[in-house]
Structure 1
Amino acid sequence: MLKSIPLTALAVSLLAATVTPGWAAPDKLFGAINERLSFMQSVAAWKADNDKPVEDLPREKVVLDAAREKAVENGLSADNVTLFFQAQIDAAKDIQTCWIERWESGEARPQNVPDLIKDVRPELLRLGNEILTLLAESPVESSDQQAFTEALTVECLSDGSKSALFEGLVDVHD
């Protein structure tokens, strides 16, 4: 049976200092990044079903321009956020390419693929905004790398993409 231990004033103030309002733990940020990348299998299936290439440079420009704008709104370096979002885009393309190669090799493709424009893209936008807000609240330190690596569970995400994403995260606050 656990005993209740009274907290001293010092213990209470130390606890309060570690739970600062508005401060989100990096694990919430890492979860949002993982969730955003988890949509890439559906994106790849939609693109394959609609004979669209993985790379869509005009769309990438829209995403990067929006990230730059939101970065400034959140008090972040637009250039550093752009580098991080480019790493996310590159990781997304790698994941999509991996899935398409698997399907071309005979692996079963998903059925009932959600529409990229109506269903998936709004979620990607929501998550992109959430990631930017969390980035402003949660600086990522090099000591967070193991937690980051463990949080990213998306199939087809390469170690190189994980490294580039993490480096981008750490650099956002430099």
Structure 2
Amino acid sequence: MTINRIELVQGDITKVKADAIVNAANTSLLGGGGVDGAIHRAGGKAILEECIKIRNRQGSCKTGEAVMTTAGDLPAKYVIHTVGPVYNDGKHGEDELLTSAYLNSLKLATENHVTTLAFPNISTGIYHFPKEKAAAIAIKTVKDYLADHFIVRQVIFVCFDDENYGIYKKLLKY
């Protein structure tokens, strides 16, 4: 399904053909569970090797920030690693940090002339961000960014599970 420059699919982000896919990374950049682990496993050691170089250069990747590596064995060209917030009670800047994670990923994509970009559902797994709230932040941030920027021509929201897919479908009014 496509609404202008936004597409919604249900599936595995490691199989998506896009210029770049976004990884819901942790601050260490060394892989983990969920989508992070899946991307590192499917992409192979080239991703981890570049993440280690980034860590050696700048230290960890802070919450809300983004860095880019090769996509290794994935069908994409690049992986943009962003760190979403762990959700506590919503009173510690979680909404702003999640917005920053999406926005910094989009900015990095633009700087590197990425025309198609796929996002997973950032922070909604083990970081416990409320799924509907996270989806609303993701959609608003992407729509606002795309309204003023034209290098990124298409954003694909890739939902792994039925619940997130249903939420995005409702919010995007499909």
> Which band: TM-score by shorter chain?
under 0.3
Greater C-alpha Rg: 1
TM-score by length of 1: 0.24
Greater per-residue strand proportion: 2
Higher helix fraction: Structure 1 or Structure 2? 1
Higher relative contact order (CA 8 A, sep 6+): 1
